[in-house]
Amino acid sequence: MTKSKHNQQRRWWQWLGLAAAIALLTSFPTLLTACNGASVGATENQIVISVLSDPKTFNPALSAESPNVFGLTYEGLVDLNPITGETVPSLAESWEFSGDKLNLTFTLKDNLKWSDGEPLTVDDVLFSYNQIYLNEKIPTNSRDGLRVGQAGTLPVVSKVGDRQVRFTITEPFAPFLNSTGLEILPEHILKKSVETLDQEGNPLFLGTWGVSTDPAELVSNGRYLLESYRVGQRIIFKPNPNYWDAPKPYVQKVVWQIVPNTDTTLLQFRSGDLDVTSVGPEYFSLLKKEEDRGKFTIYNGGPSYGTTFMAFNLNTGKRDGKPLVEPHKSAWFNNVNFRRAAAYALDRQRMVNNIYRGLGVVQDSPISVQSPFFYENVQGYDYDPEKAKQLLLDEGFYYDDQGKLFDVENNPVRFSLITNAGNKIRESMATQVEQDLEAIGMEVDYAPIGFNILVDKLSNSLDWDCHMLGLTGGNEPHGGANVWFTDGNLHMFNQEARPGTTPLTDRKIDDWEQEIADLYIKGAQEIEQDKRKAIYDRTQELTAEYLPFIYLVNNFSLAAVRDKIDGVQHSALGGSLWNIDDLTISTESKLKE
């Protein structure tokens, strides 16, 4: 048997190198905002940051977006150290693999407690996995990351002893250890809501711990508790008195200000009301000049994990007999040369130069460039509008004397492009996409909308033409399995209907789409690193060839942090505050080099 123990180090911000699934998001959540009346003293033992939008849920099993509150309020059995890339203990103190790699046994730390003082035990682990994450009636992104093999079998989770729990799988599964980092939830609080069904047969759990829940009713196991939440204004966190690693955390209050505008974020940071902010390229030069006066440091973690992309709706499905996408538009979007033409029409290097001020690189792959599974020879689409036009002409499209593009049935090529409002970089990118595509005759109706509305369109209503968004990333490709599994919760370019919504008819899966899904299964089955890489290389070849996503730009991971915060270890994977329980606030002035 092999045994692994590591020094305890944890991320606080779950960027989804984690197995629970890549979450929809804009970028590192510290896009900071107005105080809305909350006084922030320079010497107070607190850290103030901001996010672009309100949380959608306080239930970690139902969350499909990032940023979310759960990196502060919950922990799993293991976590990931974003500096070393190692899996490290969290609620578990150690783990053992059996020789055949089919059994993984965890030993919990002793005397764990919930925030309400009740013991946290192996029974809570069993409940969290068997009754929530593995429960087909609960639509959670996490389940996709736990599926094993071609059949997609799920692990058997069983009790071994008072402090030991065992996961048994049907075949070796390379990313399985990291898949066990899911948040552990309290059985004594949530069991009844899981077991009780509504009139439609759905667990009441699906409506439990929504954002209207009184924070005092939330029971957690993380380093912080939710103290208060005011819609559209702020979320305040306080230390969990029953946290297993007391007296940590040392910072006594964390405040998230909510603002849908990055310009306001900049103003609030420069005024000193905020302690951390991601540094967009449009603000880098300005903030760099102000480091000494503003008493902050800009950290550069290199290329960011994750992706930014544009995607067309390839879903041919119907709901109640009505197509999700107008048939003539669906014909365009499902024509691979139409998508290739769009890719060639986009001047991504101009995005790097003008929008990102050179603080980024062109991206061609769904796998982060820092990952050992990144394919260096992945095909790109260099800017070539003439080639784009020729591809369209070869497919039967034609131009009128005004340069407008029409299809073979004389329909003008016109569609909507949506992205989340408030992210200035993304809005600028969407504006350039609109211009670049109009230069090859396509008419694009660009409309930024609220992030939560956008997520609802992609997840539930499925009524959209084209969107621009981002996904978080990590070193382990299987963390994105639910993007590529054809029934995955984030298979957004051809999304299956979510449980509880009206089912679809006539939804089709292309051969290449199925091949990518199958390869993700094979990649998880293969233990040998070189063979795994070859499998994921092939997935990147397919995504480049068929373009379910048109990848755009990978920005550098830049963050400005007040010098009063001691212990910062910024990284592209974890951000600036991943080790927040080790951070302290200095009340003394410090000389800068």
Instruction: Give ∠ CA 280-559-551 in degrees, rounded to 5.
Output: 50
User: Number of structural domains, the chain?
Assistant: 1
Residue 264 lies in a domain: no
The predicted structure's pLDDT at residue 424: 83
Mean pLDDT of the chain: 89
- Mean of the pLDDT values across residues 182-191? 98
Residue 72 lies in a domain: no
Q: Is the peptide bond before 247 cis (omega within 30 degrees of 0)?
A: yes
The predicted structure's pLDDT at residue 593: 43
The predicted structure's pLDDT at residue 336: 98
Band of pLDDT at residue 443, cut at 50, 70 and 90: very high
Say which residue, 480 or 445, is predicted with more confidence. 445
Band of pLDDT at residue 152, cut at 50, 70 and 90: confident
**Cα distance from N-terminal residue to C-terminal residue, the chain:** 49
Q: Phi and psi for 236 in degrees, rounded to 5?
A: -120, 135
Instruction: Give ∠ CA 552-345-494 in degrees, rounded to 5.
Output: 60
Query: Which pair of tokens denotes residue 216?
Result: 């005092």
Residue 121 lies in a domain: no
Residue 227 lies in a domain: no
Question: Which residues make Cβ contacts (< 8 Å) with residue 154, sequence separation at least 6?
Answer: 134, 143, 146, 147, 148
Q: What percent of the chain has pLDDT over 90?
A: 77
Residue 211 lies in a domain: no
Q: Phi and psi for 355 in degrees, rounded to 5?
A: -85, -40
Highest mean pLDDT among 143-152, 359-368, 581-590: 359-368
Q: Phi and psi for 262 in degrees, rounded to 5?
A: -75, -20
Say which residue, 39 or 388, is predicted with more confidence. 388
- Mean of the pLDDT values across residues 20-41? 30
Query: Distance between alpha carbon 217 and the CA centroid of its chain, in Å?
Result: 27
By C-alpha distance, which of 309, 228, 235 is closest to 493?
A: 309
pLDDT at position 1 over 80: no
How far is the C-alpha of 111 from the C-alpha of 506, rounded, in Å? 53
Alpha helices in 165-260 (DSSP H): 187-195
The predicted structure's pLDDT at residue 453: 93
Question: Which residues make Cβ contacts (< 8 Å) with residue 123, sequence separation at least 6?
Answer: 159, 187
pLDDT at position 21 over 70: no
155 C-beta neighbours (distance < 10 Å), count: 24
Residue 545 lies in a domain: yes
How far is the C-alpha of 126 from the C-alpha of 132, rounded, in Å? 9
The predicted structure's pLDDT at residue 370: 86
How far is the C-alpha of 297 from the C-alpha of 558, rounded, in Å? 10
pTM for this entry? 0.71
pLDDT at position 515 over 80: yes
By C-alpha distance, which of 580, 305, 335 is closest to 470?
A: 305
pLDDT at position 142 over 90: no
Task: Output the DSSP codes for 494-536.
Answer: GPPPPTTSPPPBS----HHHHHHHHHHHHHHH--SHHHHHHHH
Residue 159 lies in a domain: no
Which of these ranges, 24-38, 98-112, 450-464, has the smallest mean pLDDT? 24-38
Residue 274 lies in a domain: no
By C-alpha distance, which of 329, 354, 436 is closest to 388?
A: 436
Band of pLDDT at residue 587, cut at 50, 70 and 90: confident
The predicted structure's pLDDT at residue 259: 84
Query: Which pair of tokens denotes residue 297?
Result: 């440091």
- Mean of the pLDDT values across residues 349-376? 93
pLDDT tens digits, 32-60: 222 333 333 444 899 999 998 999 999 99
The predicted structure's pLDDT at residue 588: 60
pLDDT tens digits, 254-299: 999 998 888 899 999 999 999 999 998 888 999 999 999 999 999 9
pLDDT at position 15 over 70: no
The predicted structure's pLDDT at residue 22: 27
Beta-strand pair 466-471/307-312 = antiparallel
Give the domain CATH number at 433: 3.10.105.10
Residue span of the structural domain in which 504 resides: 307-555
pLDDT tens digits, 78-114: 998 988 888 999 999 999 999 999 999 999 999 999 9
